[in-house]
Every structure is written in C-alpha cells, then in structure tokens.
Amino acid sequence: MDRYDGFHEFVVARGGALSRTAFLLTGEHYAAEDLVQSALAKAAMRWRWLVEHTQPEAYIRRIMINEQISWWRRRPARPVAQVPERPGPDESGQVVDRIALGHALNTLTPRQRAVVVLRFYEDLSEADTAALMGCSVGTVKSQTHLALGHLRRALPRYAEQAGEYADGTAALALARRRRTGRTVVAALVAGPLLAGLLWFTVRGVDTVPPPVATTPSAIPVPVRPVPALPSRLDVNAVVEELPGDRAPGPAVLQVHDDRVFPGPRTVLVMADGHYYSGFTGPSTLSPDGRRVTWSTATATMVRDLTGTDVRELPATLGSPLWSPGGDWFLLPARAGTGETLYHLPDWTARELPPVLPAQATAVVLDSGELLRPAGSPTRTTVPLEVVDPVSGTVRPVTVDVADRIAPGESVRSWSILAAPGDSAGLAVFGAGQKGSTEVIDVIQFSTADGRVLRRISLPADRLAFPLCFRGADLLWTDLATIRRAPAPQGIGLLMELDTPWHVVQPAGCTRSTGLGSFPG
C-alpha cells in the first residue's frame, strides 16, 4: 500500500468543508488557505497511520484548531489600511446587525471561537468538541459559557433577550433552539471585512485577551494596566465626598483612617491624585482600581469608579474576593447559603453549593476557578483543590515544598496569596531576627499541578509582610514602606508610609499595612 493512498481523494472530497471551518476559525480567506495547507501537510506525513488507527478528518480538524491558537499567540499587528465595500444589495438593518455581530465575535479568543464553530456550526456534541480540542468536557462548557457571555456583553441590543438566562447551560439551550449557529456564521463572514474600522472606532474594553509577558523566572503573567502607587501620601490633601453624579476615575489605594470621629473612615486615593471618602464599613478595591466594594448592615455595595453605577448585592460577614485580573468577583457565603461567583462586566451570577468554613475559597483564579484548602497540611505539603464552578468538577492539587525549604521552615494552608495566571503563593514561615516565627519568603506555585515555580526572597534584616501579587511582582511592607520583590537594585521602593496612623491597602490587595490584616 502506498503511504499516500487515498490522500488525494480525501482532499478532493473534504477539502471544501475543511476550508470553510478554517475560514470560521481565522476570519480571513488567505489565513484559512494557509491553515488548511499546513494541517494537510502534517497529516500527509502520517496518512497511512491515520487511515489505520483514527479518523483522518477529526485529526486534521484538531491540527487546525491547535495551529490557529498557536498562530494567534505569536500574531503580528495587522492594521487594515482600507476597508473594502461589501458588494450587493442589503437592508440597512441587516447591515447594522452583521456589523454588531462581527464585532462581537471578534472579542472571542481563538479557543472560545473554536468552541463556537464546533458546537454551533459543526453541530458537534460537548464530548466530540472536547476530543477535537484536546481538553475536558468541563473546559468546553466553561469556554462556551465565557464565549456566550462575551457575545451578550458585546451585543447590548440583544441583552434583554439573553438576560433572562443566568448561566451558560440555559443560554446554550436557547441558542440551539433558535439556530443561532447560522447567525454566527453570517456574522463571521461579515466581520473580517470590517475589522479594521471596528478596531479604531468601536473597540470595547475587553476586545482581545491581554498579551502575555514572560518574567525572568519564565512565569507567564497577563499584562494588564494597574494604577501606579504614589511615592507617599499627602497628609494635607483635601478629602472630598465621593461624587455620585460623575466618574472620579480609578483608585490607586485606600487608606483606613482612625483619627476621625465618630468612627474610622476609608479614603480612596485616586490615580489623578484626588482623595475621596463617603462610605463606611469594610471595603475592597478591584486590582485595576476601577471598582470599590463596601459593606452595610443590609447589603454589599459595589461602585464603578469609572462611571456612576452602584450595584447592591446581598450582605455578607466576610470580605469579597477579586481574581488578580479583576474579571471575577466572589461574594462570600451567607447564613444557609453558598458563595456567589460573578463574571464581569456583565455580572453573570453563579450560585455555589455551601461548604464547610474550613473549605471556604482562599483564592479566585483568573480562569474563574476557585482554589480552596483540602485536608490537613504538613510542614512541607499543602493539600488544595481547584473547583470549576461551571461543571462542578473538583481537581486535587498538592503543593510539595520539601526541596525548597530548610529545616525549621514551614508553609501553611491559610496563608495563600492570589497571583496572575494559573498560579498562587504560599508564605514560608521561619525564625526571625529575635527568634519569633515570621514570614521570611513566599513560594509561588502552579495551580495546575502544584509545581513550585519560584521562591521569592524577602529581606532578612527587617520585618517583611507580604501584601499581594501585582503582575510578576510581590508587594510587601515593613510597616514603614511598600516595596516589591524581586526588584532590580535601587528601584524596589514603591511608597513611603510616613504617616503611621494610616493603614494603607493597594488596589487588589486583601491585606493592608496594618498588623491586624496579616495571618498570625
């Protein structure tokens, strides 16, 4: 048998279908041709084995998906100089709809776009889609949920129709009944022709995923803009009331001031240097400084500082948690209820089943998964679990640091720090200068498999309390300054705290420069 026997016939018979799928994945005719040729070239090298042991077409489609994701990650900038006119008659309403749908579909990542194509255009089941993409069924469900959420956010005209469905399962059922797969295909055809115009005119906040930077330790970290900390606080600054009729802009940090009467107040320090107050009770800032939350006796309030929107959520006893990128917001459990996970910016809510207090979520990951303690830790191992809120699957992860800590040192499960990407941090406890047990270092580990990524050294000549991760940097305080580690020589100092009665909390940190915010 010739090694290419039947290959030509397969290309003639199925080449057109493969080309259509490639176009939907790439959105461009030339890129689709390159994608099909690349996939067929790789398949030809193993054609005989494919015919004997697998389904050639399914194998080639999987190559196309992986290849497209790989191309997207190293894509160059491709500005469109001139948008070609669309030939042929068309109703004005249909043109507007197609432009809007095309723009919405351009907000999807390659993986989300692949899920949409395979589930709605190819009409594959979740299991078949997972097999083609080389992932779990839970991942397919979560990516479908995220993709539909992005489409709903980008299509405000249809938001009322989709808003009655609070989860991806209901939305998916509605989509299948209404045959939206064909609408998606039509939008994908129109979208690439208008991509250049849309990029410069109607680009939204989250039009594309953030680029990924590689740190010196080879840890991938999403590059997201975060407000820079001021070098010091202005003790003479005028504190204004937080305006409700205009957008004051993102905040850099919050200062808990106990010098005022009748009780302590929280002051927001804005990126433009203004100081605002206007709420009491425990508060948190999102990592990007865009949203602030505070608690009242009856509700948890969330204010968008880049607008005027104020959202009222159920009251809780604990502080809300943000994912490092700010895309996920977790409301702690209330009496008789479980936690509630929100996906921003559309605030899609997902109620989670109740758990024991010892299993309460410690970290919300950028993927929307939850990281929780699981079992009893030892001096060198910490058992954890990663929960997928969409599928409900629980994945155990054990962090073993035996080869990264010295005798007399230990790690503890209740001292977990959120970090960007699929990672988190554990504080390393050891003997301080006066023999007391103190945090001496932080170990960053992968939440995918528990593998230790790096050990971040804190100074041994002073007290050092970790605050939170900001990108690849770990923020820490000695109660007199806020610094970062690791840091190039001479630029580790970020902020001086020359007003000791202030308790400072940078945006995105669950801990402040007050001693009471650190685990004992």
Say if residue 352's pLDDT is above 80: yes
Which of 90-104, 153-167, 306-320 comes out lowest in average pLDDT? 153-167
Cα separation, 337 vs 339, whole angstroms: 7
Say if residue 328's pLDDT is above 60: yes
> By three-state DSSP, how is residue 279 classified?
coil
Predicted local confidence at residue 189, as pLDDT: 44
**What are the E-state strand segments in 420-492?**
423-431, 437-446, 452-457, 465-470, 473-477, 481-485
Say if residue 170's pLDDT is above 50: no
Quickly state the pLDDT bin for 326 (edges 50, 70, 90). Answer: confident
394-431 core/surface letters (b: 16 or more CB in 10 A; e: else): eeebebbbeebbeeebbbbbebbbbbbbbbbbbbbbbe
Task: Tell which residue, 12, 3, 73, 74, has the closest CA to residue 43.
Answer: 3
For 387, residues 6+ apart whose C-beta sits below 8 A from its C-beta are 352, 361, 369, 370, 371, 372, 393, 394, 395
Say if residue 37's pLDDT is above 60: yes
Q: Tokens in use for 19?
A: 């080309």
Predicted local confidence at residue 434, as pLDDT: 59
Residues paired with residue 385 on neighbouring β-strands, in sequence order: 372, 396
Q: Tokens in use for 359?
A: 């299993």
Burial environment of residue 385 by CB neighbours within 10 A (0 to 12, 13 to 18, 19 or more)? middle
Predicted local confidence at residue 268, as pLDDT: 92
Say if residue 82's pLDDT is above 90: no
Phi, then psi, of 127 in degrees rounded to 5: -65, -45
What is the mean predicted confidence (pLDDT) over 354-382?
Answer: 85
Predicted local confidence at residue 220, as pLDDT: 45
Q: Does residue 115 contact residue 181 with C-beta atoms inside 8 Å?
A: no
Say if residue 148's pLDDT is above 50: yes
Predicted local confidence at residue 304, as pLDDT: 92
Cα separation, 230 vs 493, whole angstroms: 11
- 502 or 232: which carries more pLDDT confidence? 232
- 69 or 258: which carries more pLDDT confidence? 69
Quickly state the pLDDT bin for 6 (edges 50, 70, 90). Answer: confident
Say if residue 83's pLDDT is above 60: no
> By three-state DSSP, how is residue 46 classified?
coil
What is the mean predicted confidence (pLDDT) over 372-394?
Answer: 88
What length is written for the chain?
520
Say if residue 238's pLDDT is above 50: yes
Quickly state the pLDDT bin for 77 (edges 50, 70, 90). Answer: very low
Cα separation, 457 vs 409, whole angstroms: 14
Q: In what helix (H) or strand (E) does residue 20 lie, and over which residues does it extend?
A: helix 7-26
- 54 or 183: which carries more pLDDT confidence? 54
> By three-state DSSP, how is residue 40 classified?
helix
Cα separation, 418 vs 447, whole angstroms: 10
Task: Tell which residue, 352, 328, 353, has the closest CA to residue 342.
Answer: 328
Rg (CA), the chain: 26
What is the mean predicted confidence (pLDDT) over 172-188?
Answer: 49
Cα separation, 455 vs 427, whole angstroms: 10
Burial environment of residue 94 by CB neighbours within 10 A (0 to 12, 13 to 18, 19 or more)? exposed
Q: In what helix (H) or strand (E) does residue 331 lie, and over which residues does it extend?
A: strand 328-331
* Domains contained in the chain, CATH given: 7-212 (1.10.10.10), 239-517 (2.120.10)
The pLDDT mean for the chain works out to 76
Task: Tell which residue, 357, 389, 388, 392, has the closest CA to residue 373.
Answer: 357
Residues paired with residue 311 on neighbouring β-strands, in sequence order: 302
Cα separation, 49 vs 182, whole angstroms: 35
Phi, then psi, of 3 in degrees rounded to 5: -65, -20
Q: What is the dihedral of CA 297, 300, 304, 310, to 10 degrees?
A: -70
Predicted local confidence at residue 114, as pLDDT: 81
Residues paired with residue 466 on neighbouring β-strands, in sequence order: 476
Chain centroid to Cα 271, Å, comes to 23
Q: Which amino acid is at 482?
A: I
pLDDT tens digits for range 86-122: 455 455 555 556 666 666 777 777 778 888 878 877 7
Cα separation, 265 vs 256, whole angstroms: 6
pLDDT tens digits for range 188-229: 544 544 454 444 344 443 433 344 433 333 444 444 567 788
Q: Tokens in use for 86?
A: 């669309």
